[in-house]
C-alpha cells in the first residue's frame, strides 16, 4: 500500500436526541465542542473530513462535508453510509444509550393522571460498525463517574477500538463545553498516556497526529 500524506477522517460530534413527544426528548449535556475541534485539527493538517453531527450551536466548519442527524439511529445510518470511505473513525458523539419505546404523537399533558416512560436500548454504534473496520482505525471515548481505567479498558476491548480516550466526570470537572480536563489515552495493548489539564483543542491536535501515526504503522 502506498504511504499516504493525509487520511480520510469520519468524525461524529454532539449529542443525540430521542423524542418522547413532539415537544420533549431524552438527551445529555454534550455540546459538540470536542468533535468540532477535532474536525478543525484534522482539516488544519490537510486531512479530508466528513462530520456527522447531532444538534449543536456551532457553525459548521467551512470546506468539509457535514451531515446533520438527530437520533442515535440517524447517526448510525449516516456513519454506515460513510464508513467505507474513511481511514479513521473518531467517535466523539455522546449517543443516548436509551430511547422511548414509543414516541407519542401529541404532547403529554401535565395533568395526565399516570404516565410511564418505557425505555429501550439504542443500537451500539461502534459495535455495529465493527464489520467495516478492516484497514481502518477506530477511536472511542469513555466518560465515567467511577472506575475510570477499568471501565475504559472494558469498552476498548469489547468494541474493538485501537484507542480510547477516558476522562472522569466529577464535582470539579465540567467535561462539557470549553473546559480543560485530564485525559487518559489508552491503546489496544493497554498502554496509556496521560494528558493533564489540557484543553480540548490540545487534545484534538494530539489525537489527530496520533491517529495518523497509528494508521501509518498498521497500514502503510
| Residue that has been written with the C-alpha cell 457535514 in this structure | 66
| Residue that has been written with the C-alpha cell 497500514 in this structure | 219
- Under 8 Å between Cβ of 34 and 112: no
Which residues are paired to 183 by β-bridges?
Answer: 195
Q: Which residues are catalytic?
A: 28
- Under 8 Å between Cβ of 199 and 177: no
The set of cell numbers assigned to 214 is 497509528
DSSP H or E stretch at residue 216: helix 200-219
> What are the DSSP calls for 74-117, one per residue?
HHHHHHHHHHTT-SEEEE--B--SEEESS--SSPPPTT-S----
Q: How far is Cα 7 from Cα 38, in angstroms, rounded to an integer?
A: 14
Which residues are paired to 165 by β-bridges?
Answer: 141, 185
Amino acid at each position: 500500500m502506498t504511504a499516504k500524506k493525509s487520511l480520510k477522517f469520519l468524525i461524529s460530534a454532539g449529542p443525540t436526541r430521542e423524542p418522547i413527544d413532539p415537544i420533549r426528548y431524552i438527551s445529555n449535556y454534550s455540546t459538540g465542542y470536542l468533535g468540532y475541534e477535532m474536525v478543525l485539527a484534522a482539516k488544519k493538517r490537510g486531512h479530508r473530513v466528513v462530520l456527522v453531527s447531532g444538534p449543536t450551536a456551532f457553525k459548521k466548519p467551512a470546506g468539509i462535508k457535514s451531515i446533520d442527524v438527530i437520533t442515535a439511529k440517524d447517526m448510525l445510518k449516516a456513519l454506515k453510509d460513510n464508513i467505507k470511505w474513511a481511514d479513521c473513525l473518531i467517535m466523539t458523539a455522546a449517543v443516548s444509550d436509551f430511547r422511548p419505546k414509543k414516541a407519542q404523537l401529541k404532547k403529554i399533558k401535565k395533568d395526565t393522571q399516570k404516565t410511564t416512560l418505557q425505555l429501550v436500548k439504542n443500537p451500539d454504534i461502534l459495535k455495529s460498525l465493527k464489520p467495516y473496520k478492516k484497514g481502518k482505525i477506530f477511536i472511542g471515548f469513555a466518560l465515567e463517574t467511577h472506575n475510570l481505567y477499568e471501565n475504559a479498558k472494558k469498552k476498548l476491548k469489547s468494541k474493538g477500538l485501537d484507542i480510547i480516550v477516558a476522562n472522569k466526570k466529577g464535582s470539579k470537572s465540567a467535561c462539557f463545553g470549553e473546559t480543560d480536563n485530564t485525559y487518559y489515552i489508552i491503546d489496544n495493548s493497554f498502554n496509556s498516556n496521560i494528558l493533564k489539564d489540557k484543553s480540548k483543542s490540545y487534545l484534538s491536535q494530539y489525537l489527530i497526529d496520533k491517529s495518523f501515526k497509528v494508521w501509518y504503522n498498521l497500514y502503510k
